[in-house]
Amino acid sequence: MIPSEITQPTDQATTSPRHDPSTLLSIRGLRKRFNLSGNWLEQLHFSKGRLTRRQEYVHAINGVDLDVARGEALCVVGESGCGKSTVARTVMGLISPSEGEIHFDGTRIDQLSAHALLPWRRRMQMIFQNPYASLNPRMTINRILEEPITFHNPSLNRGDVQDKVQEVMSSVGIDPEWGGRFAHEFSGGQRQRISIARALAVDPEFIVADEPISALDVSIQAQVLNLMRDAQQARGLTYLFITHDLAVVEHFATRVAVMYLGTLCELAPRDTLFSTPRHPYTQALLSAIPRLSDGHPTPIRLTGEVPTPVNLPSGCVFHGRCPYATARCREDIPALKTYGDARVACHALEEGRL
Amino acid sequence: MSEETSTADLRAQMPGAWARFRKSYLLYSFKRDPVAQLCLLIFIIITIAAFGAPWWAPTDPYDLTGIDIMNSELPPMWLDGGDAAFPLGTDAQGRDLLSTILYGTRVSLLIGFGAVAMQCVLGILFGLLAGYFGGIIDATLMRLADIQLSFSTLMVAILVGAIVKASFGNLMFGQVALILLILIIGIAEWPQIARTVRASVLAERSKEYVDAARVMGFRAPRIMFRHLLPNTLSPIFVIATVQIANAIISEAALSFLGLGMPETQPSLGSLIKSGFDYIQSGAWWITLIPGAVLVVLVLVINLLGDWLRDVMNPRLHKG
């Protein structure tokens, strides 16, 4: 695995990143708002004798800068609703960003038309969370796997396509003889293997995995994880791995990005993050992992709730629950700053209060 | 099955559509449901009898030279004054009622299936578009459907039929009546199918296999017709079956009102209407026998539709 590289801090979202050949994917100033207000008729409100138009947004991602280096497995962690899946889906073009840029291998891809995006589609693939919904129930496994191959390689003849299908099926540990069966005839773990096979069928370089093992039985999780790691080594894949399971992160990641309420709080190599978590949220998160060994500090108890992403807090999004918050934290949004090999967005750390 | 299998053997072993059908719940439940079996049997008999009418109908009711006005209003053969040449009697013009019913059933079935095919084409297309794209396309198509549904089928048909009849004259109308009825009933009832399709597409498109198809770069038509449509087929089947019965009834009602098939090529509805004038004078068979055929046909189709709905609704599976 290529050691991850820390890129230059780019604090202005507008500048196009200088293309670094070791960077496969770079996200700059990504924001995504979802409109909650419905159609224009539902937006009209009558208050104090005046008719006003009111629009409300869920701020799912609020300015995320992220670089994924070639060959690494970048894990994005965070609690439910912190925007990690939205990042994954925006990167794959399933939803379009409200602001910001996504560059894949030096090319900006977030503004391309569906047709222009096609060559990039086969270089980046996605594995989904729910193996029970991610395979078409009316298609046999063979058809599910054949379709992307023939679509992206129209020149292949039937025999070549069959060979390719058999190859990817064996590579994920599914007997090619089962290709005539339907998805409902397989277990959850087998289905997730088939989903992986579908992603691998077009020979991608980059795979976005959106909580690929959280719907699986614990005994199957390790199998699927190891399969993904083997595929990474055999094919030189790069992963953007969305998860909320810190044990998976410890096993799988080369670097970890911690998200809270749509912002990135900390980005660090795995070992650095687990040995010296710097951001107060990361510290609280890691202290919550149950350990068998004695003498481990008791979990840091955060007070209050995660604020609603509809009305974002001013300043640092974490200030309401942070034990170190000051007046500055309530006003200024902290930027990612480099500390050793980690990058952390925290005023307290910058001022040396932590 | 041999132990060692080459790729060619593998293909041969793959369960084909027929093998899958043989193992399906559909066939299993059909085998255990005598009502469904009986209904299908009657439906098949009626269909074969109607579409094979040119071969086995005693006379050709469209052939005016074969009709003798002196034979008019003969009762069925088991009544006094009946003639063995006309087993179900004759109508007011001296046509053999059995032959006329056979030909008329053919017309009714053609209109029923044709109109539903038309509804399916429009309904599936608009339903897929509305459900998959959402937003303004959805709003436009569904408001259009609402507007369409707010006119009853009969009202649209009366309006269109009257205009065509007035502008082309009776003779011309007779030539285009079949196609016109298919178009009218098809266009008037497409929202039923479109709404059903849209509802299932909305449920299906949030599933991850649709996202997976989008990530693969498949274009919208391929996703709609090859990924979404097969998953919305079962409700379409059920609705379509019921709609066939509805279309046949609509056609009969229109013909009864004089806006359907002309006297010269009668459907079941126009036969009923033509006999209606003579029911007081004792010739009840001209109305009642085609009426009974219509009732049986529609009942059988509706019962089959009910059975299909029960089978295809997984929540009603027993055990």
- Sequential pLDDT tens for chain A (354 residues): 444 444 444 444 334 456 678 889 999 999 999 888 777 777 888 877 888 888 888 999 998 999 999 999 999 998 888 888 999 999 998 899 999 999 998 889 888 888 888 888 889 999 998 888 899 888 889 999 999 999 998 888 889 999 999 999 999 989 988 888 888 888 889 999 999 999 999 999 999 999 988 888 888 888 899 999 999 999 999 999 999 888 889 888 999 999 999 999 999 999 999 999 999 999 988 888 877 776 666 778 888 888 888 888 888 899 888 888 888 888 889 989 998 889 999 999 888 887
Residue with tokens 């056609």: B251
Per the CB < 8 Å rule, is B208 touching A117? no
Query: How many other CB atoms are found less than 10 A from the CB of residue B156?
Result: 16
Reading the block at residue B290, the tokens are: 């085609």
Q: What is the DSSP string of B160-177?
A: HHHHHHHHHHHHHHHHHH
For B158, phi then psi, to 5°, come to -60, -45
- Which of A39, A93, A136 lies closest to B209 in CB terms? A136
Nearest CA among A182, A184, A249, A265 for reference residue A214: A249
Residues of B in contact with A157 (CB under 8 A): none
Cα atoms in the Cβ-side hemisphere of radius 13 Å centred on A328? 10
With a CB cutoff of 8 Å and minimum separation 6, the contacts of A260 are: A78, A79, A82, A281, A306, A317, A318
Whether the CB of A191 is below 8 Å from some CB of chain B: the reply is no
Q: How far is CA B5 from its chain centroid?
A: 46
Residue B225 CA to residue B125 CA, distance in Å, equals: 9
Q: Which of B5, B217, B230 sits opposite A117 (nearest CB)?
A: B217
The verdict on a CB contact (< 8 Å) between A121 and B227 is no
Helix (H, G, I), strand (E, B) or coil at B75: coil
Q: Which residues in chain A have Cβ-Cβ distances shorter than 8 Å to B212? A: 126, 128, 134-135, 195, 198
Using the structure block, give the residue that is written with the tokens 């408001």: B143
CB contact under 8 A, B14 and A180: yes
> Would an 8 Å CB–CB cutoff place A135 in contact with chain B?
yes
Q: Which of residues 199-258 of B touch A (CB under 8 A)?
A: 207-209, 211-219, 227, 230-231
Q: pLDDT value at position A18?
A: 61
How many Cα atoms sit within 13 Å of B14 on the Cβ side? 18
Distances (CA, A) of A285 to A281, A313, A339: 6, 20, 19
Give the closest-approach CA distance of B51 to chain A in angstroms.
34
Q: How close A39 gets to chain B, by Cα (Å)? A: 9
Q: Cα distance from A170 to chain B (closest Cα, Å)?
A: 14
> Residue B316's pLDDT is what?
54
Provide CATH code, domain A70-253: 3.40.50.300
How many Å apart are CA A134 and CA A211, to the nearest integer? 13
pLDDT for B90 = 79
What distance in Å separates the CA atoms of residue B160 and residue B168, rounded to the nearest whole number? 12
For B207, which DSSP code?
S
Q: Which residue of B has its CA nearest to A183?
A: B209
User: How many angstroms away from the CA of A54 is the closest CA of chain B?
Assistant: 19
Is residue A258 within 8 A of residue A281, CB to CB? The reply is: yes
B219 contacts A126? CB cut-off 8 A? no
Phi, psi of A69 (to 5 degrees): -85, 150
- Contact list in B for residue A136 (CB cut-off 8 A) is 209, 213, 227, 230-231
Q: In degrees to the nearest 10, what's the CA dihedral of B215, B220, B222, B225?
A: 120
Q: Which residues of A touch B139 (CB under 8 A)?
A: 39
What is the model's pTM? 0.81
CB–CB contact B216 A151 (8 Å): yes
Distance from CA of B107 to the nearest CA of A (A): 36
Distance in angstroms (rounded) separating the CA atoms of residues B69 and A84: 84
- Going residue by residue through chain B (319 aa), what tens digit of pLDDT does each one get? 344 444 444 444 455 677 777 777 788 888 888 999 999 999 999 999 888 888 887 778 777 777 777 777 777 777 777 777 777 877 777 788 888 888 889 989 999 999 999 999 999 999 999 999 988 899 999 999 999 888 887 888 888 888 888 888 777 777 788 888 898 888 888 898 999 999 999 999 889 999 999 999 898 999 999 999 988 888 888 888 889 888 888 888 888 887 778 777 888 888 888 888 787 777 788 888 888 999 999 999 999 988 888 887 655 544 4
Nearest-Cα residue of chain A relative to residue B206: A133
Q: Name the residue among A133, A151, A179 with its Cβ closest to that of B208.
A: A133
**What residues in A contact B208, CB-CB < 8 Å?**
128-130, 133-134
Phi then psi for residue A13, to 5 deg, are: -75, -20
Query: The complex's ipTM?
Result: 0.84
Sign of CA dihedral A323, A324, A329, A335: negative
Chain A contact present for B5, CB below 8 A: yes
Domains recognised in chain B with CATH numbers: 110-259+302-319 (1.10.3720.10)
Q: Which amino acid is at A206?
A: F
* Phi, psi for residue A86 in degrees, rounded to 5: -65, -40
What residue segments make up the domains of chain A, in order of their start? 31-61, 70-253, 281-290+297-354
**Chain A residues touching B211 at Cβ < 8 A:** 89, 94, 126, 128, 134
Token digits for B88? 């179900």
One-letter amino acid for residue A243 of the chain: T
Residue whose pair of structure tokens reads 């222009």 in the numeric block: A116
A136·B15 Cβ contact <8 A: no
Query: Measured between CA atoms, how close is A256 to chain B, in angstroms?
Result: 25
Radius of gyration of chain B (CA): 24
| Cα–Cα dist A180/B23, whole Å | 15
Provide the token pair at B22. 């043989």
Q: How far is A89 from chain B (nearest CA, A)?
A: 9
Cα gap B9→B2, rounded to integer Å: 9
- Distance from the Cα of B15 to chain A's closest Cα (Å) equals 7
CB-based contacts of B115, cutoff 8 Å, min separation 6: B181, B182, B185, B186, B189, B243, B247, B250, B251
Please state the three-class secondary structure of chain A as a single string. Answer: CCCCCCCCCCCCCCCCCCCCCCEEEEEEEEEEEEECCCCHHHHEEEECCEEEECCCEEEEEEEEEEEEECCCEEEEECCCCCCHHHHHHHHCCCCCCCEEEEEECCEECCCCCHHHHHHHHCCEEEECCCCCCCCCCCCEHHHHHHHHHHHHCCCCCHHHHHHHHHHHHHHCCCCHHHHHCEHHHCCHHHHHHHHHHHHHCCCCCEEEEECCCCCCCHHHHHHHHHHHHHHHHHHCCEEEEECCCHHHHHHHCCEEEEEECCEEEEEEEHHHHHHCCCCHHHHHHHHCCCCCCCCCCCCCCCCCCCCCCCCCCCCCCCCCCCCCCCHHHHHCCCCCEEECCEEECCHHHHCCCC
Rounded CA-CA distance A207/B204 in Å is 24
